[in-house]
Structure 1
Amino acid sequence: MSLKYFIYGAVSLAMFSCTTRQDINYMKDIDSITLENSIKNSRVDFQPGDQLIITVSAKDMDVVKPFNQNYSSGSTVAQYTLPSSNNLPQQVPASGPTYVIDTNGDIVFPQIGKVSTKNENIETLRTKLTGLISEYVKNPIVDIKLINFKVSVLGEVAKPGTYVIPDGNTTLLSAIGLAGDLTAYGVRNNILIVRNVDGQISKERIDLTSANFINSPYYYLKQNDVVYVQPNANREKAARVDPNTGLYISVASVIASITVGILALIKN
């Protein structure tokens, strides 16, 4: 009889603690969803406080020296490369002439002066600066990196934390990948994203099991976005259990064994 109860208990525990395959699959209907809108949302506009490394090069590097006046070889910023396949994210240094976008959305660029970054992203600002510098240098090459773009991934992920992303371009899935993916206890159909744009806080719930979220403006993350993966019911129940429960059970088992042994001796 005790063996039967043990088997029932083990089966119940397995059903309680395991998450079905259906629950952990991502984007089950991706083939039926268009990705057209995701392209529109892929470009992240700059915000005040963004730090840009802007370097200018040309065939004759002496000619572009005046445009690289803010260079400081001792200034480096650690960033994370986006993981691919089973590779772990790696920190890579970034250094060069650094510009901080002011509260008006402007930077002051050598030889040119004040340049507005409002409604600009890396691609459009590169085009603008290339045109401005071309008035002084033939065929300049402008490289721009957004070095303080960061997102936080919290909750039921393997490595919760804040990550600095190269080039300021990352998707929700890439950010989750940096955090080591969701744990088995993470709720995949109710991911919370909190966004602050110019002091306006917005919140969005994302269902990773449906490809519809690719068309969401929250698929591509923005500066300082916070991604929170809430725990499922099983994790919440486990959190409410006394951490010493296992010890209590072990002690109770030992006492029960001793009691049984004593009773056996008494009967004999």
Structure 2
Amino acid sequence: MKLYKTFTSIIAFLLLTSCSVFEKNRSEQNELAYMKNIEDVAIEVSKKQYVNLLQPGDRLIILVSAQDQDVVKVFNQNYSATEQFRESSVPRGNIISNSQPINGPTYIIDGDGFIDFPVLGKIEAAGMSLDHLKQYITSSLKRYIKEPYVQARITNYRITVLGEVRNPGQFTIADGTATVLNAIGMAGDLTIYGKRDDILIVRNVNGLISKERIDLTDAGFIDSPYYFLKQGDIIYVTPNKTQERLAKRDPNSALYISIASIVVTIIALIVRK
């Protein structure tokens, strides 16, 4: 009987410990909800429009086509069948795509902001949006081609998402426009251990590193200049106190407690018989 009481006391202690940890974790997880004022956020996001501008170092695929394919050959020099990119739409791996690949010549915007386009010569692409560049090239080609059609994509527009997200990694975006929410969505959303009110964004602009922390629980974050991402941005989701505490102790402690509880229960039942 004495042994049974001892086992019963151990079980009670383990259960109380487990409940205490569970309640603490649950109370902290209740603080994890973000975009609490989702209606305000949705309205404001729908109003905002942003166009990302091309910059030196951007790598472009520009393909010219028309009914007469022989005429456009001269404008598609440096063509590489292995160089391709897909239009942006739905995440697939770490590249956002769901349509036919675009093959074509590649151009890198030089340090002065220019690309060297066949026949047309130097084009100052930096400072233009991708759509503006396509319109400019299309308009210029009308002197040489009847009804030219120009496709263009950025192939090296990448952002990196790290920290407490389900699928951290580097993501390539075809149309060159992404928001913090887009990036988090591509990374599979934050885990329950991510701090919604402490998202760090690191940005490199012409060699100058800047950092900004945004709070996803406040609709005001969409007014931040960091809401719309730029090429090379790094997003880091800070771990909350629960994750920090788990990292400091044995990550398998909860498992050990559960196993010990089961073993003690079995022994107690045997002794009682």
TM-score by length of 2: 0.80
What RMSD in Å do the two structures reach over aligned CA positions? Answer: 3.4
Shift of 1:106: 0.6
Q: Does 1:119 align with 2:127?
A: yes
Q: 2:185: which partner in 1?
A: 177
Compute the displacement of 1:155 (Å).
0.3
Which residue of the other structure, out of 148, 153, 162, is the alignment partner of 1:145?
A: 153
For residue 97 of structure 1, what is the aligned residue in structure 2?
105
Residue 20 of structure 1 and its aligned partner are, at CA, apart by 3.9
Q: Which residue of 1 aligns with 2:228?
A: 220
Alignment counterpart, residue 35 of structure 2, candidates 26, 30, 35: 26
Once the two structures are TM-superposed, the CA of residue 204 in structure 1 deviates from its matched residue by 1.3
For residue 3 of structure 2, what is the aligned residue in structure 1?
Answer: none
Identify unmatched segments of 5+ residues in structure 2: 1-7
1:251 shift after superposition: 9.6
1:13 equivalent in structure 2: 21
Say if 1:76 and 1:94, in contact at 8 Å, map to a contact too. yes
Q: Aligned with 1:188: secondary structure?
A: strand
Cα drift, residue 70 of structure 1: 2.2
What is the distance in 2 between the residues matched to 1:37 and 1:25? 20
Measured after TM superposition, the shift of residue 68 of structure 1 is: 1.2
Native 8 Å contact 1:154 1:160 kept in 2: yes
Shift of the alpha carbon at 1:216?
Answer: 2.3
Paired residue secondary structure (1:176): helix
Following TM superposition, by how much is the alpha carbon of 1:14 offset from its aligned partner in structure 2, in angstroms? Answer: 1.6
Cα offset, 1:120, TM superposition: 0.8
CA distance in 2, matches of 1:126, 1:246: 58
Change (3 A) 1:233 1:200: same
Residue identity in the other structure for 1:31:
D
Which string of whole-angstrom CA distances, capped at 9 and with x for unpartnered residues, describes residues 159-179 of structure 1?
Answer: 111111112122211111111
Alpha carbons of structure 1 residues 201 and 174: separation in structure 2 relative to 1, 3 Å: same
Q: 1:130 aligns with which of 130, 138, 146?
A: 138
Q: Is 1:38 aligned to 2:40, yes or no?
A: no
Q: Which residue of 2 aligns with 1:190?
A: 198
- How much has 1:237 moved relative to structure 2? 0.7
One-letter amino acid matched to 1:180? G
- Secondary structure of the equivalent of 1:34? helix
Give the CA deviation at 1:249.
Answer: 5.8
User: How far apart are residue 8 of structure 1 and its match?
Assistant: 3.5
Give, in angstroms, the shift of residue 98 of structure 1: 0.7
**How far did 1:135 drift?**
2.0
**Residue in structure 2 matching 1:163, options 171, 181, 200:** 171
Amino acid aligned to 2:235: V
Instruction: Point out where structure 1 has 5 or more consecutive residues left out of the alignment.
Output: none
> Separation in 2 of the partners of 1:185 and 1:108?
48
Correspondence 1:202 to 2:213: no
- What is the one-letter code of the residue matched to 1:66? V
Residue identity matched to 1:51: R
Contact 2:85 2:174 in 1 (8 A): no
Offset of residue 27 of structure 1: 5.0
Indicate the SS of the match to 1:167. Answer: coil
Aligned residue pairs, count: 258
Question: How has the CA–CA distance of structure 1 residues 213 and 253 changed in structure 2, closer, same or farther, with 3 Å as cutoff?
Answer: closer
Provide Cα deviations, 1:48-105, integer angstroms capped at 9, x if missing partner. Answer: 1111011112232322222112211122458875349xxx966875431111111111
CA separation of 1:30 and 1:141: change in aligned 2, threshold 3 A: same
Aligned CA distance change for structure 1 residues 235 and 102 (closer, same or farther; 3 Å): same
For residue 51 of structure 2, what is the amino acid of its counterpart?
R
Report the equivalent of 2:56. 48
TM-aligned CA distance change 1:142 to 1:219, over 3 Å: same
TM-score w.r.t. the length of structure 1 is 0.81
Superposition map of 1:239-258 within 5 A: 239-243=247-251, 245=253
Aligned-residue offset at 1:15: 1.9
